[in-house]
Amino acid sequence: MKERLEDTLWRHFFTNPRTNYNPYMVKLVEYPKHIIYDKDIMDSYKGQWNQKAFSNNNPIYLEIGSGSGNFAIGMAEKYPERNHLALEIRFKRLVLSANKAVKRNLNNVVFLRRRGEEITNFIENGEIEGLYINFPDPWEGNEKNRILQPKLFELLDVIMNVEGTLFFKTDHDQYYSDVLEFSKDLENYEVIYHTPDLHNSPKAVDNIRTEFEDLFICKHNKNINYIEIKKIK
């Protein structure tokens, strides 16, 4: 008997059997040009993303934690001369993101089901020009679990070109202060811009909001912190 697609996909992602499946897991296969969920395929694209995923030689920008894709889609629309890779784990968010890309006929953005700490497995030396991290978990009380900390820059030493830039947005004021503090000790990087109030800064005109950003502004009237860190050597 031929195995159901639901069972095949579930075994691909998980170990323990289950009777009720996330319906969005099955929808992943409906977007072959905009979602890659197989790690072996991603790893085989290492150093060849432009050729295999985009069929051009445009600079590549990476987002870690893309949510429902508002930011990635906005970037792809605003910068058609760039290629965009966006990492997300949740099935529903991946499907919603890919659907937005299809509706807008965007071929310069691909969503990957992958964790940020694995980027050197599928991104080659100097393969990206920029990295976006928007509103990551601040891990209050367990700050060692944060995505943006000094050890991340050891990965960026590998995958990011010199003159490449990390862009960071957060509603968490202490996270913002902590990044500014440890950045002083980064040998290969320099903070080139920062503000505790992005939406009242000169950068506001080019800012593309995430879905979380809209929530913070509309419901909580919260300031948005922003930092740009350039790789200088």
Segment 63-84, tens digit of pLDDT = 999 999 999 999 999 999 999 9
User: β-strand 225-231 against 128-134: which pairing, if any?
Assistant: unpaired
The catalytic position among 137, 173, 197, 214 is: 137
Kindly report, residue by residue over 145-160, the tens digit of the pLDDT. 999 999 999 999 999 9
- Is the predicted pLDDT of residue 1 greater than 60, yes or no? no
How confident is residue 62, by pLDDT bands cut at 50, 70 and 90?
Answer: very high
CB-count burial class (<10 Å; 0-12, 13-18, 19+) for 57: exposed
Residue 3 is predicted with a pLDDT of 64
Residue 22: predicted pLDDT? 85
Confidence class for position 7, pLDDT limits 50, 70, 90: confident
Could you confirm whether 40 is annotated as catalytic? no
Q: What share of the chain is helix, strand, coil (3-state, %, to 5)?
A: 45, 20, 35
